């Protein structure tokens, strides 16, 4: 965090200008390609999870929030093709989905309007917006477009944006939006206190909403809290104490609200709809997952390769520049283009390479913590250790990290071309764009493979809600045992 520039180095006015039309066009084009690929494939319900979330969302559009009586749940099952899966009976006798409760609240308005296919894409647009401004603040010109392009390019993003009733792409988009907003708020040292406070607050609200969608995303929220506290403690970003208080107050209020919700609905502040022992993590699962998961992750999220390369590069550059005393070196116009005013100020003082390396290392460390907190948690998940599972089944737990991976991979796409001689900049820019296009091609290919590979015993049903009964109602699968058992 000492990499961030102190406010005395910042000129009175920000040097970086707003994004130009080319940047905006490239970012919008990447998102448009995602929408086109997703909407061109007919949706269907893939797993029991889809049925569980669909039932919750449809129930909300009928005015039944949270829990249903036995009669209501069977009446709902009558209307839904394939019935209802993975709902549980609470000790009081009412029924609720065992899934975490947040996504139905986000998707129900779209279901009510008959636009459920647009629900993941709407939140994906928010994720792209946060990534655009966060990456541009960090990487300069074209950094935002690169991050959005990489975020939209992976097969995992395409797959779960296509699955209307699954929350995976929505939670990943909320995390991306929150991460980008916080990155902007921490690095925008020349912005007013009010703008930084509101941007950071919106970022934390996005992360908190992602946690409500899936409780395990609390590890990402925890990393964000540690990062902003460290930035404030070391005074590297000159974060106002009032801004930090608002941000941490939001997190505390959210935690209290979730604990109260769980206590009222599930019977305890740390309880959920899952039966005890159903969701398990164990260190014994780490080695089997390390053997099985890499091939799935490379297929679904190929940008992890440039993301890891970025981490290695900025760590190595931090070490080498830390040992070297730089005197009198100024950035060329091509290198300085798009950098912040503080970086330009340090360039004039001759310390630009070291300052840039320290800042990149600090941001990279925070993003890596967010990424590896999710992947490290699910490396210990016992359910994914079965070798007969395919990529579609197991990769969804790792998707929330794609925002952080996109930001890191964008560094490689944007920064490396600036290190080549000026005469080769045009060719390097074309090469960078080609990287995004290639990853998009890989993403579309893996999306097609994952989407068309059937699961064992799978029966494909249309995702649309039918208005007529489709045979006998399917009873909910399990009951939560009474408290104390």
Token code pair at residue 375: 């992947």
pLDDT at residue number 166: 95
Find tokens 């394939």 and name the residue: 82
Beta-sheet pairing, 44-45 with 87-89: unpaired
* Rounded Cα distance, 48 and 204, in Å: 31
* Rounded Cα distance, 334 and 417, in Å: 10
* Rounded Cα distance, 179 and 51, in Å: 30
pLDDT at residue number 141: 81
Quickly list DSSP for 335-353: HHTT--HHHHHHHHHT-HH
On the question of pLDDT at 360 being above 50, the answer is yes
Q: What is the mean pLDDT of residues 463-470?
A: 40
pLDDT at residue number 473: 37
On the question of pLDDT at 126 being above 80, the answer is yes
DSSP 281: B
On the question of pLDDT at 249 being above 80, the answer is yes
- Per the prediction, the chain carries an average pLDDT of 83
Q: What is the mean pLDDT of residues 85-99?
A: 90
Lowest-pLDDT range, 160-174, 326-340, 401-415, 425-439? 326-340
- φ, ψ of residue 435 to 5 degrees: the values are -60, -45
What are the tens digits of pLDDT across the range 31-84? 999 999 999 999 889 889 999 999 999 999 999 988 999 999 999 999 998 899
pLDDT at residue number 426: 54
pLDDT at residue number 142: 85
| Percent of the chain whose predicted confidence (pLDDT) is above 70 | 79
pLDDT at residue number 194: 93
CB within 8 A of 225, min separation 6: which ones?
A: 248, 251
On the question of pLDDT at 392 being above 50, the answer is yes
Query: What are the extents of the domains in the chain?
Result: 40-331+343-458
pLDDT band at residue 231 under the 50/70/90 scheme? confident
pLDDT at residue number 13: 36
pLDDT at residue number 171: 97
pLDDT band at residue 317 under the 50/70/90 scheme? confident
CB within 8 A of 256, min separation 6: which ones?
A: none
Rg (CA), the chain: 23
Q: Which residue has the higher pLDDT, 428 or 195?
A: 195
Find tokens 């392009």 and name the residue: 149
* Rounded Cα distance, 89 and 94, in Å: 6
DSSP 68: B
């Amino acid at each position: 965090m000492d990499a961030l520039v102190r406010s005395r180095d910042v000129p009175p006015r920000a040097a970086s200008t707003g994004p130009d039309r080319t940047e905006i066009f490239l970012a919008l084009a990447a998102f448009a390609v995602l929408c086109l690929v997703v909407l061109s494939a007919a949706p269907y319900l893939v797993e029991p999870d889809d049925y569980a979330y669909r039932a919750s969302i449809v129930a909300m559009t009928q005015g039944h929030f949270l829990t249903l009586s036995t009669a209501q749940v069977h009446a709902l099952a009558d209307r839904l093709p394939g019935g209802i899966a993975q709902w549980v009976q609470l000790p009081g006798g009412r029924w609720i989905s065992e899934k975490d409760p947040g996504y139905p609240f986000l998707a129900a308005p779209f279901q009510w309007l008959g636009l459920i296919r647009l629900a993941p894409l709407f939140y994906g647009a928010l994720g792209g917006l946060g990534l655009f401004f966060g990456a541009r603040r960090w990487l300069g010109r074209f950094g935002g477009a690169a991050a959005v392009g990489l975020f939209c390019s992976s097969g995992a993003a395409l797959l779960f944006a296509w699955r209307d009733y699954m929350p995976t792409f929505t939670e990943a988009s909320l995390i991306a939006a929150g991460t980008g907003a916080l990155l902007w708020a921490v690095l925008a040292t020349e912005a007013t206190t009010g703008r930084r406070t509101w941007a950071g607050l919106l970022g934390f609200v996005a992360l908190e909403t992602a946690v409500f969608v899936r409780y395990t995303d609390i590890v990402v929220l925890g990393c964000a809290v540690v990062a902003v506290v460290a930035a404030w403690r070391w005074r590297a970003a000159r974060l106002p104490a009032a801004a930090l208080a608002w941000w941490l107050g939001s997190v505390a209020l959210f935690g209290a609200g979730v604990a109260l919700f769980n206590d009222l609905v599930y019977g305890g502040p740390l309880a959920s709809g899952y039966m005890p022992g159903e969701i398990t993590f164990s260190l014994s699962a780490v080695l089997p997952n390390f053997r099985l998961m890499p091939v799935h992750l490379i297929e679904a999220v190929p940008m992890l390769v440039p993301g890891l390369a970025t981490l290695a590069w900025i760590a190595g550059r931090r070490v080498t520049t830390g040992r070297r005393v730089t005197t009198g070196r100024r950035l060329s116009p091509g290198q300085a283009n798009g950098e912040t005013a503080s970086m330009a100020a340090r360039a004039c003082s001759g310390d630009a390479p070291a300052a840039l390396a320290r800042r990149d290392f600090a941001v990279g460390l925070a993003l890596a913590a967010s990424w590896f907190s999710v992947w490290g948690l699910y490396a210990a998940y016992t359910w994914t250790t079965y070798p007969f599972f395919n990529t579609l089944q197991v990769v969804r737990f790792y998707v929330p990290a794609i925002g952080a991976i996109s930001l890191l991979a964008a560094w490689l796409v944007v920064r490396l071309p600036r290190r080549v001689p000026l005469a080769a900049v045009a060719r390097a820019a074309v090469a960078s764009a080609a990287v995004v296009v290639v990853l998009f091609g890989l993403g579309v290919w893996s999306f097609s493979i994952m989407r068309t590979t059937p699961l064992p015993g799978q029966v494909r049903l249309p995702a649309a809600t039918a208005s007529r009964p489709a045979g006998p109602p399917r009873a909910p699968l399990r009951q939560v045992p009474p408290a104390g058992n």
